[in-house]
A and B are shown apart, each in its own frame.
Chain A
Amino acid sequence: MSSDTIAAPASAAAPTAPLAFLRAQGRWHWAEIAFWLATLLPFVLTPDYLVLASQVAISALFALSLDLILGFSGIVSLGHAAYFGVGAYTAGLLSVWGWGEPLTGLVVAGAVTGVVGYVTSFVIARFRHLALIMITLGFGLLLQEAANSAGWLTGGFNGLQGVHTWPIFGKFEFDLYGYTAYAYALAVLFLIFLVARRIIHSPFGLALRGIRENGTRMPAIGAPTHSHIRTIYTIAAIIAGVAGAILTQSTETVSLEALGFQRSADVLVMLIVGGTGKLYGGLIGAAVYMVARDQFSGLNPQYWYFWIGLLLIAVVMFLPNGILGGLAGIADFVKTKWTKTP
């Protein structure tokens, strides 16, 4: 478990009694606390960039949901944006039809996406390898085409018009500067992160990693693998839907790109760059990717993809566990140097 959160790997002096050891692994590491405190900095240090910060938080939440199925359970999905899009459109339609309250909108969007996720999970759970990749890709592309064709519902190419989000708790308006948006997105991200962290450190989290590590051995120890996969896939879909809903509510717009292949690919890149299976990988990756994209937004789109392509190649060849993996590697190296007896 030491590789799954930013928590420190056990040194030779750590308690070896099993329960104490496992407890120590689950504890909050100082770096985690520092990370979450740092997420408050944009309010103070870069108040002009709060809109970007809220976009980062939304992408981070989306990447977290992908990490649960990809990083921890080994399910490679090229169509995860489908759930982001369903959540986004649900929140948008709810608002267009007259109910713009954001918190209940979140719950409804999560519920609807959860149902869609649950239904599709029955198919997803039965396949692996290339067949699974193609099915997730196919579902995503199919949804994209369907949404495009159903212009009467989705607004088609131009997107949904007339989304208006009511103030949170009746008091906090969504302003142009992004204060409310970032506070909202960050709060939801943190709460859901706590849930995800608990899931990972539960027996279920262990089962998921078992599926990832050796899916064929799982039935041989009596594990209902399909049932486990369905559960985590539904949970991940709900979280993705919530992320999409926040995007709609905070930007008061939703368009086809919310469920497009581009979005599925981007979130995958964010997760790979940050590091899979580490909970914080998606968050770090989202921050790096979105900030870089903002900085280079003046650049021609094809040049952006040139550098992203190089980055992906570099990450896979030299940093296969992403940024967090690299940091963990450095931490291990430093630790062994310091604790080596002369």
Chain B
Amino acid sequence: MDEDAVSESLLTASGADVNALSARGINKSFGSLVVAADVELNLPQGVRYALIGPNGAGKTTLINLLTGMLRPDAGRIFLGPDDITALPPQERVRRGLVRTYQINSLFPHLTALESVTLAVCERRRVAATFWRSLTAYVEEIDEAHGILSALALADVCHRPTRELAYGQQRLLEIALALATRPKVLLLDEPAAGVPREESKDLFEAIAGLSNNITVLFIEHDMELVFRFASRVIVLVGGRVMVDGTPAEIADDERVRAVYLGKGHGALRV
């Protein structure tokens, strides 16, 4: 559809490589607590980036800053060529910057199908029509069902969200994000809390994400990181420490020091 054509043109436009998502000089503090210091980010189109770092490093905060949930004290954020720093969250979503949540943020009493259909309807801007029955929107319902089928949720699509298994709920998180047709997808610990038996579907879902979507995911699970990421950013104390390929990161002394317990201020309780 149109959206694919746009991202194609981004890549080929006069050789200048406009990143799918980039950020410059992002700074944020809460009083004396610095959660982001001079963060710079460049995500080329279609790349899978992993964002790792110890607890409290500011990874989720960075996602909140990128999506507009938090305002940075300084810095600019670009989606493609557009400066989105001043845009509210729903506007960024409309332009294709979407995130999932580390702790499920779903609609407990809505069924899986209803949840995803809602997201599709909002995207297609038909959610405000109150005079036509939902069943008239066949395309939207079919699209939602399609997304759920691709994530192996078709069998349970009529069950209320709160009745789904945790792994299925994590998949529903991703389904909701996919329903918005993201160009850039920020996954906040997609495998968090998912028992080993249920994570297979999840891994396959992530592997199956289209190459038209640029993905940044926060993960502690190194298996996922090495399997899916082509580049890794290490965030420590709100600062980007290293940005490289998984192999480079694995070899990096500083990264090992951080993870193997030399520790640093933020971790000391």
Contacts and interface: CB of A to CB of B under 8 A. Distances in A.
Given A223-B90, A223-B127, A231-B128, A201 B109 contact: no
A206 B158 contact: no
Contacts of A198: 130-131, 133
Interface stretch (B76-84, B92-100, B201-209, B246-254): B92-100
A16 B158 contact: yes
A203 B119 CA distance: 10
Contacts, number: 132
Contacts of A23: 135
B179 A221 contact: yes
Contacts of A225: 90
B224 interface: no
B127 A204 contact: yes
Interface stretch (A98-106, A116-124, A208-216, A287-295): A208-216
B126 interface: yes
A228 B134 contact: no
Contacts of B67: 220
B13 interface: no
A202 B131 contact: yes
B88 interface: yes
A228 B122 CA distance: 11
A222 B128 CA distance: 12
Most A Cβ at <10 Å: residue of B123, B128, B137, B145: B128
A227 B128 contact: yes
B89 interface: yes
B105 A216 contact: yes
A209 B110 contact: yes
B135 A22 contact: yes
Interface of B: 67, 88-90, 93-94, 98-99, 101, 105-111, 113-115, 117-119, 121-123, 126-135, 137-138, 140-142, 144-145, 157-158, 176, 179-180
Given A220-B93, A223-B118, 4 more contacts: A18-B145, A202-B134, A204-B129, A206-B117
15 contacts: A21-B158, A22-B141, A26-B133, A201-B134, A202-B130, A202-B131, A203-B121, A206-B110, A207-B128, A209-B109, A217-B176, A220-B93, A221-B123, A222-B93, A227-B128
